[in-house]
Amino acid sequence: MKHVYNFSAGPAMLPPSVMQQAQAEFIDWHDSGASIMEISHRSASFKELLEDTKDTARELLNIPSHYDILFLPGGGRSQFSMVPMNLLGQHTQAAYVNCGVWGQLAINEAMRYCDVSIIADNNHVGPKGIPPQSTWLPYDECAYVYTVDNETVQGMEFDFTPDTGDIPLVSDMSSNLLSRTIDVNRFGLIFACAQKNIGPAGITIVIVRKDLLEIAPLPFMPTMYHYATHAKAKSLYNTTPTYPCYMVNLVLHWIKAQGGVTEIEHRNRLKANKLYDYIDHEDFYYNDVEKNSRSRMNVVFDLHEHDLTAQFCKEADERGLIGLRGHSSRGGLRASIYNAMPIAGVEALIDFMRYFARQYG
Ligand code: PMP
């Protein structure tokens, strides 16, 4: 099999040992004579798997018991509407911090349900960084404050947890959940689609404070869009995407076996520091994000000679370094170095970047 390092932003690479285990169990799961894909989502053995997935997530992220953990279909984007539909209650306003593509898309969707107050914006102008909380506009009248903890396209990540007092903090952690330790208590709701750090596409994890499930839903709320439906049914209201759940279970156990999220965070820091250090010291490349807002997951960078970007991707591809093209809305280059990317992959990328700079610089 061809060996590559996959820097794709998502769906992204999964740990090789997880893929091997999934392959070994593919047609016969736990001596059942059937694939996990073929058994009922309501069978005792699937329910056990789902509960174990929940328990393992709770343990890894230290999620307190007054939070529920939901596994939902619909991807990250379904949360862009589920969040306002479920959390607005009697409020007519919600506050958004907008730092990039994913913040903007969430705002566009929320505007269908409420007045969106953009309390901080770093999408178009100014230094490229997460606006410090001291610069945010007031949000006292808002139902919640919404952030994107890691902007996958812009390569920017919060290096602080905002303090929003009694107003629930909602965060899209699609591209960094489980990459570092977090204090869940500081959030009202966290969500993350799986296809970056957690598993394959098809499932989204929602961590929600239980009291928020009591908020009266919007009139005509679709049953499937109501968090309380899924909490009550323990994520088995509809036919849960069973195979993605199974893969998430394997990935969570892999994280545990690596030493948990603390160890994973340590490795992620090393990988990101190594890559940013190289970019900063090599005149041929640059990264224009403020240092304290640089993402540890999605390292965006550019060539001073923009015209060489396609050649860079072509030659990287030929060397088995795939998925480095930046998002279409931003262009340039992006190395996504999620949990499953080994340090050797980052080193191979730096070796190639050094070669390319010498060749064309
Ligand atoms: N939020 C963030 C931060 C993302 O990176 C993405 C996907 N790249 C999404 C939301 C949307 O996820 P999905 O494609 O599963 O709807």
Q: What is the mean pLDDT of residues 270-294?
A: 97
Which atom of ligand 1 is closest in space to residue 193's alpha carbon?
A: 15
Which amino acids are annotated catalytic? 102, 172, 196
pTM of the predicted model, to two decimals? 0.97
Per-residue model confidence as pLDDT tens digits over 55-90: 999 999 999 999 999 999 999 999 999 999 999 999
Q: Work out the pLDDT band at 329, boundaries 50, 70, 90.
A: confident
pLDDT of 307 higher than 80: yes
pLDDT, position 1: 83
Q: Helices 343-360 and 309-318 sit at what angle, rounded to 10 degrees? A: 130
Q: 191 CB less than 6 Å from ligand 1? A: no
Q: How many A from CA of 77 to the centre of ligand 1?
A: 6
pLDDT, position 68: 98
Per-residue model confidence as pLDDT tens digits over 95-150: 999 999 999 999 999 999 999 999 999 865 566 899 999 999 999 999 999 999 99
pLDDT of 227 higher than 90: yes
CB-based contact 187:211 (threshold 8 Å)? no
Percent of the chain, pLDDT > 70? 99
Which atom of ligand 1 is closest in space to residue 9's alpha carbon?
A: 8
Query: Strand 204-209's sheet: what is its strand order?
Result: 67-72, 204-209, 189-193, 169-172, 145-148, 93-98, 115-121
Q: What is the mean pLDDT of residues 274-285?
A: 97
Q: Work out the pLDDT band at 219, boundaries 50, 70, 90.
A: confident
Give the mutation target among 152, 172, 193, 295 for probing the ligand 1 site: most ligand atoms within 8 A of CB: 193
Q: How many A from CA of 174 to the centre of ligand 1?
A: 6
Q: Which helix (H) or strand (E) holds 146?
A: strand 145-148
Q: How many A from CA of 354 to the centre of ligand 1?
A: 32
pLDDT, position 124: 56
Distances (CA, A) of 202 to 76, 125, 243: 9, 34, 9
Which atom of ligand 1 is closest in space to residue 148's alpha carbon?
A: 3
Q: What is the mean pLDDT of residues 194-208?
A: 97
pLDDT, position 4: 96
Q: 249 CB less than 6 Å from ligand 1? A: no
Q: 11 CB less than 6 Å from ligand 1? A: no
Tally of CA atoms within 13 A in the half-sphere of 38 that contains its CB: 10
Indicate which residue's Cα is closest to atom 12 of ligand 1.
76
Q: How many A from CA of 148 to the centre of ligand 1?
A: 10
**C-alpha 46, offset from chain centre:** 25
Cα–Cα distance, 282 to 27 (Å, whole number): 49
Average pLDDT, the chain: 96
Q: How many A from CA of 238 to the centre of ligand 1?
A: 22
Which atom of ligand 1 is closest in space to residue 75's alpha carbon?
A: 15
Q: What number of other Cβ atoms are within 10 A of residue 288's Cβ?
A: 12
pLDDT of 19 higher than 70: yes
Distances (CA, A) of 188 to 64, 102, 227, 340: 12, 19, 13, 28
Per-residue model confidence as pLDDT tens digits over 228-249: 999 999 999 999 999 999 999 9
Q: 152 CB less than 6 Å from ligand 1? A: yes
